[in-house]
Amino acid sequence: MSTPPNEATAPATLGMPPIDQVGFVVKSLAEAEKRYGSLFGPWTRMDGSVQAANYRGRLCDARLGLLFGHSGELEIEFIEWQDGESPHREFIEAGREGLHHLRYRVEDTDAWIEKLAGIGYQPIWTKRFSEEIAFSYLEREDDPLLLELLQMP
């Protein structure tokens, strides 16, 4: 039986908001819809393409197909990379498929990027649509799981 940490030995927390989405990258949305429909459906499909996002220091376009389902309040997102440059392409080209990122809704992506840098996360794919709307994907060395920050009222 383990002993709970006391305040002196407990790891510091950043006070992250709850995860509101789990994102999976798949080769085929049609296959994901068939495979997981009974778990997460009914589904909503949409074009998730992004133009002129900052991807690893360059402005790049990406064409993505999206499929959204739910498990209670938790959004389940399936992403099919179709063309262009994005973290999803890297994932598929590395021969991977499956859990890709966790999303947190935040009030200020820039402030959270700064906080998360303290534990090794760096932004790799970002886009600011307006003063109120932005997203950032962050990675850290030797960690296959990305974090997504979404700022949207």
- Considering only residues 11 and 74, tell me which one the structure prediction assigns the higher pLDDT: 74
Give the whole-angstrom CA distance, residue 65 versus residue 135: 17
- Give me the mean pLDDT over the 46-55 stretch: 98
Pairwise CA distance, residues 64 & 52, whole Å: 14
Instruction: Please provide the average confidence, as pLDDT, over all residues in the chain.
Output: 93
Mean pLDDT for 104-115 is 97
Take residue 133 and report the two structure tokens written for it.
Answer: 């709307």
Q: At 116, give phi and psi (nearest 5°).
A: -70, -20
Delineate the domains of the chain, giving CATH numbers in brackets. 19-151 (3.10.180.10)
Question: What percentage of the chain has pLDDT greater than the value 70?
Answer: 92
* pLDDT (0 to 100) of residue 93: 97
DSSP state of 67: E
Question: In whole angstroms, what is the distance from residue 121 CA to residue 116 CA?
Answer: 5
Predicted pLDDT of residue 2: 41
pLDDT at 11: 52
Q: At 92, is the pLDDT very low, low, confident or very high (cuts 50, 70, 90)? A: very high
Interval 32-49: pLDDT, tens: 999 999 999 999 999 999
- Better-scored residue on pLDDT, 137 or 4: 137
Distance, CA of 76 to CA of 19 (rounded, Å): 11
Residue 133 Cα distances to 72, 106, 127, angstroms: 25, 10, 9
pLDDT in tens, 126-148: 999 999 999 999 999 999 999 99
More confident residue, 61 or 6: 61
pLDDT of the residue at 14: 87
